[in-house]
């Protein structure tokens, strides 16, 4: 298989291409480390100095040259065909989300050079959010910036930051990563935060090298050691229904399923609705709408 066959690549800034190649190299290395020889039917062998597969084993499984694959994983300026990337993704046992992430990092998906301005939400969106009460609901983008919300959501997160900056009220991931234990709304961070960071990285694959996104990741990295650890895992995941446990200062712990609804007319944004798991949680949720929200004791925007 000719690994050097070029699939037409969309134009992008030189700095963006270099950053994308670096991210691609890190992603491939992390994925290779997660696959054992037994996973792909190879003998384990002796004296393996690194976890997972060797580069030559990936090249063998994908049907490409060892030198070419080594250059790809080193982030060298080479191009790959769609056929070859599919073969590499099969060798590394990537799922659908990981495969899309690989293609984006290889420059085979749209990657606009400039971060678009936050979308202007139609007034009807707020009507929809309000009609979902007593269920907490909000509009968020792929960076977890909260763009709009209803009253139960405001009570759940306890934020009074009602004057948005550049269309953004606050960032829910930043709040959960940096809030002190006394004020953190997240009751199960060990389950919730890894998945949120994986969703963020999946979206980041479309924007590698863009100043707004790079600055966002740098701020999160500077503000949270946990974020740095989770980000280094190179895990990617799509938004999907996720069980969340919230701690409310007056109502206690409630368990809700975060369900994401896409918004075709608003790129990279979605409505998230929190649905209670059982009658006890439903009773607590119904009381949210009548509460006066408290204020955060720390900033909710990185």
| Contact call for residues 298 and 165 (beta carbons, < 8 A) | no
pLDDT value for 12: 47
Cα–Cα dist 37/106, whole Å: 25
* Model pLDDT for residues 252-296, shown as the tens digit of each residue: 999 999 999 988 878 889 999 999 989 999 999 999 888 766 544
Task: Show the low-confidence residues of the chain (pLDDT under 70).
Answer: 1-15, 45-46, 48, 109-119, 159-167, 292-302
pLDDT value for 114: 31
Cα–Cα dist 268/272, whole Å: 13
According to DSSP, the residues that pair with 139 across neighbouring strands are 148, 271
Cα–Cα dist 201/236, whole Å: 6
Q: Tell me the residue ranges of DSSP E strands in 117-161.
A: 137-141, 145-149
SS3 for 265?
coil
pLDDT value for 286: 92
Torsion 56-58-60-65 (CA) sign? negative
pLDDT value for 165: 58
Is the pTM of the predicted complex or chain greater than 0.85? no
Q: What domains appear along the chain, each with residue ranges and CATH number?
A: 14-105 (1.10.260.40), 123-288 (3.30.450.180)
* Model pLDDT for residues 151-173, shown as the tens digit of each residue: 999 888 876 544 455 667 888 99
pLDDT value for 265: 78
Q: Which of 89, 67, 65 is nearest to 76 (CA)?
A: 67
Phi first, then psi: what are they for 28, rounded to 5°? -60, -45
| Contact call for residues 142 and 278 (beta carbons, < 8 A) | no
Q: Which residues contact 229 (CB under 8 A, 6 or more apart)?
A: none
Containing 248, the helix (H) or strand (E) segment is strand 242-248
SS3 for 170?
strand
Q: And the tokens for 284?
A: 């607590």
pLDDT value for 112: 37
Cα–Cα dist 63/217, whole Å: 35
């Amino acid at each position: 298989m000719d690994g050097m066959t070029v699939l037409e690549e969309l134009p992008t800034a030189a700095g963006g291409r270099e950053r994308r190649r670096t991210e691609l190299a890190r992603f491939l290395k992390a994925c290779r480390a997660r696959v054992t020889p037994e996973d792909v039917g190879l003998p384990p062998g002796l004296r393996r100095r690194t976890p997972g597969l060797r580069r030559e084993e990936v090249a063998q499984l994908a049907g490409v040259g060892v030198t070419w694959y080594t250059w790809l994983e080193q982030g060298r300026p080479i191009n790959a065909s769609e056929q070859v990337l599919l073969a590499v993704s099969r060798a590394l046992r990537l799922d659908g989300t990981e495969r899309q992430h690989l293609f984006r990092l290889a420059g085979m998906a749209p990657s606009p050079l400039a971060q678009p301005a936050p979308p202007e939400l139609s007034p009807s969106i707020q009507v929809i959010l309000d009609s979902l009460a007593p269920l907490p609901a909000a509009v968020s983008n792929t960076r977890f910036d909260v763009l709009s919300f209803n009253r139960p959501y405001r009570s759940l997160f306890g934020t009074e930051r009602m004057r948005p900056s550049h269309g953004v009220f606050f960032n829910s991931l930043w709040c959960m990563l940096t809030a002190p234990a006394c004020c953190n709304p997240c009751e199960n961070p060990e389950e919730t935060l890894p998945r949120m960071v994986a969703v963020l990285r999946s979206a980041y694959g479309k924007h590698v090298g863009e100043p707004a996104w790079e600055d966002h990741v740098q701020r999160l990295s500077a503000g949270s050691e946990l974020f740095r650890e989770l980000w280094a895992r190179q895990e990617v995941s799509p938004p999907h229904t996720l069980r969340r446990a919230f701690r409310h200062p007056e109502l206690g712990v409630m368990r809700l399923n975060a369900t994401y609804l896409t918004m075709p007319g608003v790129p990279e944004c979605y409505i998230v609705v929190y649905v209670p798991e059982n009658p006890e949680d439903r009773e607590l949720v119904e009381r949210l709408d009548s509460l006066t929200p408290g204020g955060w004791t720390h900033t909710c925007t990185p």
